[in-house]
A and B are shown apart, each in its own frame.
Chain A
Amino acid sequence: QSVLTQPPSASGTPGQRVTISCSGSSSNIGSNSVDWYQQLPRTAPKVLIYVNSQRPSGVPDRFSGSKSGTSASLVISGLQSEDEADYYCAAWDDNVNHWVFGGGTKLTVL
């Protein structure tokens, strides 16, 4: 059971907009920033969004993140086939004094 809760799966057709949610508590998302990681099949994860909504250089602006209260969201606009991957949210948790991940969301592009 992950500390951060994500839907196990999501899907969309090319060009669609998809939202992946991440729910936590006051000790993690409620008091710290959220990061999102993308893991393409058989590869290492890479940071997609950091500090709630910041995109590293090289990440397309189709990807955006937001946070409100104890929840966060990753939005992918203009879905592309190469976006098919697993997506994880993460945050520092002040109660346990370490990082916590969501269980991951498998995105399928139909």
Chain B
Amino acid sequence: EVQLVESGGGLVQAGRSLRLSCVASGFTFEDYGMHWVRQAPGKGLEWVAGISWNGGSQVYADSVKGRFTISRDDAKKSLYLQMKNVKSEDTALYFCAKAQQSSVVDHFDSWGQGTQVIVSS
């Protein structure tokens, strides 16, 4: 069974940094693309960033480009999101999602339960 467990969320001041983690199990992590998707309170889903199976392709939403960095450590079966210069609009529940195949363009077939990020001003 695929499991994705996010962590690292919390309360952070605007302008500071935070790193989210997602530990995967139940599948061969290094073979699949991975993504971060967020959901602001009471709002819809917003895709944030994606990384291909080998890390060779990293793509970002315009709203986070230049501030967030997605990375992966296949040995630790982990996905990361380094968030810098956070803004109040980054307040959201952040989901880790697995792609169905190796590329960033494949749909998301499994999701974690999310980790909450709250940015205070």
Chain A interface (Cβ within 8 Å of chain B)? Answer: 2, 32-33, 35, 37, 39, 43-47, 50-51, 56, 86, 88, 90, 92, 96-104
Contact = CB atoms under 8 A, between A and B. Distances in A.
Interface residues of B, number: 21
Given A44-B95, A44-B112, A96-B62, 18 more contacts: A2-B44, A35-B107, A44-B114, A45-B108, A47-B107, A47-B108, A47-B109, A50-B107, A51-B107, A86-B44, A90-B45, A90-B107, A98-B47, A98-B60, A99-B50, A101-B45, A102-B44, A104-B45
Q: Is the interface of B mostly helix, strand, loop or mixed?
A: strand
A88 B95 CA distance: 15
B113 interface: yes
Contacts, number: 55
Contacts of B60: 98
Nearest to B113: A44
B109 A50 contact: yes
Interface of B: 35, 37, 44-47, 50, 59-62, 95, 100, 105, 107-109, 111-114
